[in-house]
Structure 1
Amino acid sequence: MQANIQPFFDPATWTITYVVHQQGRPECAIIDSVLDYDHKAGRTSSDSADKVIAFVRSQGLQVQWILETHAHADHLSAAPYLKRELGGRIAVGKEIRQVQQAFKQLFHLEPDFCSDGSQFDHLFEPGEVFSIGGLTCKALHVPGHTPADMAYQIGDAVFVGDTLFMPDVGTARCDFPGGDAHTLYRSVRTLLEMPAATRLFMCHDYPPEGRAPAWETTVGQERQSNIHLHDGVTEAQFVAMRKARDATLPMPVLILPAVQVNIRAGELPPPEANGIRYLKIPLNAI
């Protein structure tokens, strides 16, 4: 079945949030939401999420799921705020526990921080089938960028997270904790074995100069012209390219605040004795 898809592009983080539903049915999902964050002032705001909320309410939709494709390193999630305003269950893949364990150590988080995924309402098993109204959906485990990356197949569309980008941008980096270029190659090839007309929706777009942001492509277009993984690129070639390229990339601007928040399913760290919440900056550690 064809899914109705409403994108919301955030120019500050190059992120696309989606509201997905079936025509004629009120149930919907929100995928990869954004909490605005001013890293210079250490302030959060909800402008981006409020646009999503306004759309959901104007269309008379009911949120069933608030889906995360992974623990993002380039933006903070607005999932808890959306849940408070609209309802729904916050969900991610079960391998988020690996990511939580790694970053709990890096940030030396509070002793009672649980690295069992319990901050989320639901942890998807690989291949788990679920529904949004009358739309049949499948949670696809596509690790490589991180161990916990998921893609969501909803009707005739697949939301690929950071696994793939538009054909002229390529693929995700693999140098974060638990990332692996060999694994990413196999994950992407699994996605590209789907029918050529399958619609693919990106979580981010970092367009080359002269191109406006875009976020929808197809399996066929990716197989033909993805600059990193078009048909004919071998695993060895891809891994060599990915490792060489990753060695030149700077860390994402918001990785340190974003990961601390996103492994908590979007909740901010608990307030300290003075009532203020703090994010940690590990020095000389990454």
Structure 2
Amino acid sequence: MPHTTLVSTSPSTPTIHALFEPQTSTWQYLVVDPTTSTAAIIDPVLDYDPTTQTISTTTADALLAFIAQKGYTISHILETHIHADHLTAAAYLQAQLLKSQATFSTAQTKIPICAGHRIQHVQTLFAQRYSIPEEEYRRTAFDKLFQDDEHFTIGTLDAVALHLPGHTPDHLGYMVGDNIFAGDSLFNPDIGTARCDFPGGSAESLWASGRRVLGMAPETKVWAGHDYPPAGRAGVVVPFATVEEHRRMNQHLKDGVGREEFLRVRRERDAGLGEPRLLHAALQVNHSDD
């Protein structure tokens, strides 16, 4: 699997491993505190074959092997939102790490799976669609629901759960140092932004979230949740671009694009999109995470 590493340059900046899962075009991230080798996993992938309707753990097992090779201790499994285009490996990783991570604090029985508190709204929408009992998804789905812009720590690193709605109402980005793990809000500049046509999605909210991100310092790195490289990149996947690059080149949000133009382009684009290939399998698995 394609893999990019950005090595920490100081005790206050993370080492970042970006691991690309090509079947769903998903970037998974390991965000590592260089002082303690404590790390968080962001948006891990569980393999699913829609033809045979079988689940496998090849990608997740490769991630576990990489973590063991590096000697990292995992403190959090972070979801940016409920995904409609891939199955999450969060519950599988939590169970496997509980068995293997002997150095993890004995005061904590499991590594928390985390998301934004508005995910409960999205759970309700899709639990009704798939007839999943409320007691099932409320009890088992997530261990920690962040409030908007809540601070937490990854080892000695400060992190913030930024509320970036639009693609979904619960959507979070995670900011660590001068890095924002933006999930399905901003993609790379030559792609633009994510769709807003799922239940609870909002082009207006995505405009506001995009302007919030582009209001950060120019050197801030925006790490994408997916990459679908256009022809000009010849299939080369790229995990991040800087805020300055987005301001100059993001085809939906670059400087000079106004709100009304963005809304028009985003809505026209969404109207022509088909549903994600793994939509029904992903939503049934991901919102219960069981």
Query: When the two structures are superposed, what TM-score results if normalisation uses the length of structure 2?
Result: 0.89
Residue 192 of structure 1: how far off its partner (Å)? 0.8
Question: Any residues of structure 2 matched to 1:109-188 within 5 Å, and which?
Answer: 109-110=132-133, 112-114=135-137, 116=138, 119-188=141-210
Look up the match of 1:238: 262
Distance 1:62 1:85 in 2: 13
The 3-state SS of whatever aligns with 1:51 is helix
Deviation per CA, 1:76-114: give whole Å up to 9, x if none. 000011111114210000000110111111112236434
Please name the residue that 2:53 is paired with.
Answer: 42
1:62-101 to 2 correspondences below 5 Å: 62-87=73-98, 88-101=111-124
Q: Does 1:60 align with 2:59?
A: no
Partner SS for 2:266: helix
Percent identity over paired residues: 44
Q: What do residues 36-78 of structure 1 show as CA deviations (whole Å, max 9, x unaligned)?
A: 0001101011111111101111111111000000001110000
Looking at structure 1, the residues matched to 286 and 194 of structure 2 have their Cα atoms a distance apart, in angstroms, of: 18
- Decide whether the 8 Å contact of 2:15 with 2:32 is kept in 1: yes
Equivalent AA in structure 2 for residue 251 of structure 1: E
Say if 2:31 is the partner of 1:31.
Answer: no
CA offsets 1:248-270 (integer angstroms, 9 cap, x no match): 00100001110111111x32xxx
1:206 corresponds in structure 2 to: 228
Query: Hey, what does 2:20 align to over in structure 1?
Result: 9
1:24 Cα deviation from its structure 2 partner: 3.2
1:221 aligns with 2:245: yes
| 1:247 corresponds to 2:286 | no
Runs of 5+ consecutive residues of structure 2 not aligned to the other structure: 1-11, 99-110
Q: Aligned with 2:45: secondary structure?
A: coil
Assess if the C-alpha contact under 8 Å between 1:142 and 1:163 holds in 2: yes
**Retained in 1: the 8 A contact 2:35–2:156?**
no
Counting matched residue pairs gives 265
Asked if the contact 1:94/1:117 (under 8 Å) is kept, the reply is no
Amino acid at match of 1:104: A
1:181-213 CA distances to partner (integer Å, 9 max, x unpaired)? Answer: 011000110111100000111110011024111
C-alpha distance in 1, partners of 2:152/2:284? Answer: 28
Q: Structure 2 CA distance, aligned partners of 1:256 and 1:28?
A: 31
Q: Distance in 1 between matches of 2:139 and 2:265?
A: 33
Higher deviation after alignment, 140-149 or 78-87: 78-87
Matched to 2:211, the amino acid is R
Q: Deviations over 1:140-188 (max 9, x none)?
A: 0010100010000012211000000000000010100000101100011
3-state secondary structure, aligned to 1:113: helix
CA RMSD of the aligned region, Å?
1.2
What letter corresponds to residue 42 of structure 2 in structure 1?
Answer: I
1:147–1:179 CA contact under 8 A, matched in 2:
yes
| 2:174 aligned counterpart, secondary structure | strand
Partner of 1:278: none
CA contact (8 A) 1:3 1:156 kept: no
- How far apart in 1 are the matches of 2:140 and 2:47? 24
Please give the alpha-carbon distance, in whole angstroms, between the structure 2 residues aligned to 1:147 and 1:228.
20
